[in-house]
Amino acid sequence: MTPSAWTTTLSDDQATRALGAQVAQVVGEGEVLGLCGPLAAGKTTFCQGLARGLGVPEEVAVRSPTFTLCNEYSGRLPIFHLDLYRLGSEDEAEVLGFRERVGTVGVSVVEWADLFPDLFPLHTVWIQLEHLGARRQVTIWPGNSHLAAILPTLSLPNPGGHEPWTEQSRPMPWECSP
């Protein structure tokens, strides 16, 4: 059975950050967001909006954790921003304590999550960002998360910043051919 997903198109980085900020308003303790997509698709940009929405001050830079593997931010909930891009295997992630950290406290946001999908808890919300010309397509698989009911009601504050959400059946990001 192909899982249900919600898709919208965003106009730019500002709309991507706005979506992150909207998601921040509905995430809770132990939430896991698995971010997928090619280089420069907006994974870190989404996390910047999420961090601001969770109360991380503007003067705190939210950067890609590609080389640090994990950046931590303090907000309404602690944010653990991880990146799997440089890891060679699930075993490497295990040695670094991935399972002990992700989904236990705060909000875990993991870039390149589709590289090792078996590491993630069942309640993970999967978010794929893709280039669509000058725009960006976002697909979210809420799974059994409480976000399944909330997602279609999220709207962005800038008019024209996104298209309405549409529900469709789509394979998970790691099931798609490159």
Band (95; pLDDT cuts 50, 70, 90): confident
Q: State the first-to-last Cα distance of the chain, in angstroms, to the nearest integer.
A: 21
DSSP 27: -
Q: Which two tokens stand for residue 142?
A: 């809420």
Residue 161 has pLDDT above 70, yes or no: no
In the chain, what are the domain boundaries? 4-157
Q: What angle do CA 122, 163, 49 make, to 5 degrees?
A: 60
What pLDDT digit, counting tens, does each position of 37-70 carry? Answer: 999 999 999 999 999 999 999 999 999 877 778 8
Give the pLDDT of residue 2: 56
Name the more confident of 150 and 129: 129
Structure confidence by residue, pLDDT tens digits, 61-75: 999 877 778 889 999
SS3 104: coil
Average pLDDT of the residues in 127-148: 85
On whether the CB atoms of residues 45 and 13 are closer than 8 A, the answer is: yes
Q: Average pLDDT, stretch 80-99?
A: 85
Question: What b/e string do you get for 122-142 counting C-beta neighbours within 10 Å, with b at 16 or more?
Answer: eebbbbbbbeeeeebbbbbbb
Question: 44-56: string of b/e by CB count within 10 Å (b at 16+)?
Answer: bbbbbbbbbbbeb
87: pLDDT strictly greater than 80? yes
- Quick check: helix, strand or coil at residue 107? strand
Architecture of the domain whose range is 4-157? 3-Layer(aba) Sandwich (3.40)
